[in-house]
Amino acid sequence: MIWDPYNECMDVEQRARLQVWRLRETVARLKANVPFYRERFRDIDLEPEDIRSLEDLEHLPFTTKDDLRDNYPYGLFAVPLEEVVRVHASSGTTGKPTVVGYTAEDIDLWAECMARSIGCAGGTPHDILQVSYGYGLFTGGLGLHFGGERMGCTVIPMSSGNTERQLMMMRDLGTTILACTPSYALTIADTARDLGISADELKLKSGIFGAEPWSEGSRKAVEEMLGLSAHDIYGLSEVLGPGVSNECEAKNGLHVFDDHFIPEIIDPATGKRLPDGEPGELVFTCITKRCLPLIRYRTRDVSTLTHEICSCGRTHPRMGRIRGRTDDMLIIRGVNVFPSQIEHVLLGIEEAQPHYQLVVRREGRLDVLEVQVEVAGELFSDTVRRLEEVERKIAHALYTALGITVQVKLVEPKTLARSEGKAKRVLDLREGV
Ligand code: DLL
C-alpha cells in the first residue's frame, strides 16, 4: 500500500523544486534561531537566497555527532523549549547520550513517515502490528507505535523482552506484522521453535526489522522460521528515528523519504560527494523538521544510493542495505572488515546458526580476529575431525570473502548472549581501540 501517493510518487523535478524551497527556508530558520549554524553560515558567507538548486547543498557545512555533544543537551534546537513536546536519546560513543527533540509538528511528520514505512512493508489499516522494539528513550518503540496508529493498524505495544509472552500475544491476538530488531526476530523465532510453535500457528505476514545491520542470510532465516516477508527499516534519532527509509515489496533498496530528508553519499576521508552506486558515508539534511533540522548530518553509516525509479512506483531515491559503520569497521592487519560481511558469509554456511560474536585481540603485534559461531548441538556429538572440518570450511569461506585469515571457534547452541534490542557483535579487546 502506498500511504501517501502524492508525495511518494511525485514527479522528480517537482520534488526537487520543493526540496530547494524547503532547504532555503530551513537555512533561514537556522540562521535566525541557532547560534551554532549562524556562525557556520557566516564563516562561508552563506545567505538563504544563495540556495538556488540542489547542487548548492554541497557548499553547506557538515554537522557531526561531536557538534551535538558540544551543544548538549539543547544547544542545536531551533525552537524554544516550550514548543518541544518530546525528547528521545541515543547512546553516545562516550558518556553522555545524544538528546533529540520534537515539536508537535515533528511528531506528526514522524507518524506520517512511519505510516509510509509500514505501507512499504505491505501494511494496511487491517493489520495487527506488534511493536517489539524497546519503548522509552530509544526511538524504535514509540516511532513504530505512532506510525501504526496513523496507518490505522491495531497496535500491540509489547516493547522488547519476555519472549515467551511475546509469542503468546502473537498467537492469541493474531499479530500480522512484527516490528523489532532483526536479531530479536531471530531470538523470537528460536524460542518459537523451542516451544514447538510453528509458523502456521501464527498469522504473521510481514516483518519490519531494523536499527542494526543485518544480512540477506538473516532475512532468509527469519522469513522461513516465522513465515513472513521481512523488510528493512532504517533511521537514526538525530534525523528522526525509524522512518527515514524503508524497503518496499521489491526489496531492492530502501526508499528514502527525501521530501523530508535529502540523502547524499560522501567519501568519509575527503567529504566529496560520490556518484550513485559508489559506497560511502550517508549524509542527511532535514528540510522539514522544526526542532532539530540538522544540515548535512554525517551518519557514519556506510551505504550506496540510486536515483533509478523503482518498480513499485515510488519515485524516492533508494539507499542500499547498511554495510556497517565507518566507526565499527574493524581494521584487522590493515584490512577493512565490516561485521555484516562476516554475517553474510556465516549465513551461507549450512552448519552455522545465525548467532555469532566477533572477538578482536592483539597477540604480540598482530591483530587476531576470532569468530565465535554457534552450530547445531548434534555436531558436538560427532567426531573431533568433523568439528575441525566445519571450522576449516568457515575459515576458508571467510578468507575468500575478506582476504584475511580468521580464527574460527565453534560453540554450542545458546552459548552466546541473545539480543532483545540491538545486538552487540564485536568485542574489541585491543588496547587503545
Ligand atoms: O536505531 C532508529 C531505528 C529504530 C531504526 C527502529 C529502525 C528501527 P538510533 O538508536 O539513533 O536510532 O541508531 C541509529 O542504528 O545510524 C545505524 O548505524 C543503525 N541502524 C538503524 N537502522 C538500521 C538498519 C535507531 N536498517 C543507528 N540497518 C544508525 C543497519 C541500522 N543499521
Q: What is the rounded average pLDDT for all residues in the chain?
A: 94
Give the per-residue pLDDT at 432: 57
98-103 and 84-90: which strand pairing?
Answer: antiparallel
Over range 153-163, report the average pLDDT. Answer: 96
Ligand 1 neighbours by CB, cut-off 6 Å: 90, 133, 138-140, 210-213, 232-237, 241-242, 299, 301, 322, 325
Give the per-residue pLDDT at 381: 84
Question: In angstroms, what is the span from residue 378 Cα to ligand 1's centroid?
Answer: 36
- Residues 200-224 as b or e (16 or more Cβ within 10 Å = b): eebbbbbbbbbbbbbbebbbebbbe
354 band by pLDDT with thresholds 50, 70 and 90: confident
Question: In angstroms, what is the span from residue 377 Cα to ligand 1's centroid?
Answer: 33
Give the per-residue pLDDT at 95: 66
Burial class from Cβ neighbours inside 10 Å (0-12, 13-18, 19+) for residue 93 reads exposed
Give the per-residue pLDDT at 433: 46
Residue nearest to atom 10 of ligand 1 (CA): 90
Higher pLDDT, 421 or 239: 239
Give the per-residue pLDDT at 325: 83
Closest by CA to 98, choosing from 80, 71, 62, is 71
Give the per-residue pLDDT at 331: 80
Give the per-residue pLDDT at 76: 98
Give the per-residue pLDDT at 337: 86
With a pLDDT cut of 70, the percent of the chain lying above it is: 98
Residue nearest to atom 20 of ligand 1 (CA): 211
Mutate to test the pocket of ligand 1, among 100, 146, 236 (most ligand atoms within 8 A of CB): 236
Question: In angstroms, what is the span from residue 211 Cα to ligand 1's centroid?
Answer: 3
With a pLDDT cut of 90, the percent of the chain lying above it is: 83
Higher pLDDT, 42 or 331: 42
pLDDT(92) > 80:
no
Question: In angstroms, what is the span from residue 209 Cα to ligand 1's centroid?
Answer: 10
Residue type, position 245, single letter: S
Question: In angstroms, what is the span from residue 430 Cα to ligand 1's centroid?
Answer: 26
Cα 105 to chain centroid distance, Å, stands at 24
Over range 363-379, report the average pLDDT. Answer: 90
| 155 beta partners | 129
Mutate to test the pocket of ligand 1, among 88, 99, 139 (most ligand atoms within 8 A of CB): 139
Over range 188-205, report the average pLDDT. Answer: 96
The model's pTM is 0.90
| 428 beta partners | 360
Give the C-alpha separation, 405 to 163, whole Å: 37
Task: Report how far apart, in Å, the C-alpha atoms of 160 and of each of 35, 100, 132, 167, 388 are.
Answer: 39, 22, 5, 12, 37
What phi and psi values does residue 140 have, to the nearest 5 degrees?
-60, -55
Q: Which atom of ligand 1 is nearest to the CA of 209?
A: 8
Question: In angstroms, what is the span from residue 51 Cα to ligand 1's centroid?
Answer: 30
Give the per-residue pLDDT at 329: 76
pLDDT(383) > 90:
no
Give the per-residue pLDDT at 366: 82
**pLDDT tens-digit map of 166-187:** 999 999 999 999 999 999 999 9
Cα 417 to chain centroid distance, Å, stands at 21
Report yes or no: 155 and 116 within 8 Å, Cβ to Cβ: no
Over range 399-413, report the average pLDDT. Answer: 93
Residue nearest to atom 16 of ligand 1 (CA): 236
Mutate to test the pocket of ligand 1, among 301, 329, 420, 425 (most ligand atoms within 8 A of CB): 301
332 band by pLDDT with thresholds 50, 70 and 90: confident
SS (H, E, C) the chain: CCCCHHHHCCCHHHHHHHHHHHHHHHHHHHHHHCHHHHHHHHHCCCCHHHCCCHHHHHHCCCECHHHHHHCCCCCCCCCCHHHEEEEEEECCCCCCCEEEEEEHHHHHHHHHHHHHHHHHCCCCCCCEEEECCCCCCCHHHHHHHHHHHHHCCEEECCCCCCHHHHHHHHHHHCCCEEEECHHHHHHHHHHHHHCCCCHHHCCCCEEEEECCCCCHHHHHHHHHHHCCEEEEEEEECCCCEEEEEEECCCCCCEEECCCCEEEEEECCCCCCECCCCCCEEEEEEECCCCCCCCCCEEEEEEECEECCCCCCCCCCCEECCCCEECCCCEEECCEEECHHHHHHHHHCCCCEEEEEEEEEEEECCEEEEEEEEEECCHHHHCCHHHHHHHHHHHHHHHHHHHCCCCEEEEECCCCCCCCCCCCCCEEECCCCC
- Residues 297-312 as b or e (16 or more Cβ within 10 Å = b): bbbbbbbbbeeeebeb
64 band by pLDDT with thresholds 50, 70 and 90: very high
Question: In angstroms, what is the span from residue 339 Cα to ligand 1's centroid?
Answer: 15
Instruction: List, in order, residues 6 or more apart from 213 with CB less than 8 Å away.
Output: 321, 322, 323, 324, 338, 339, 340, 343
**pLDDT tens-digit map of 276-329:** 999 999 999 999 999 999 999 999 999 999 999 999 999 999 999 998 888 777
Question: In angstroms, what is the span from residue 15 Cα to ligand 1's centroid?
Answer: 26
pLDDT(257) > 70:
yes
Question: In angstroms, what is the span from residue 232 Cα to ligand 1's centroid?
Answer: 10
Q: Which atom of ligand 1 is nearest to the CA of 235?
A: 5
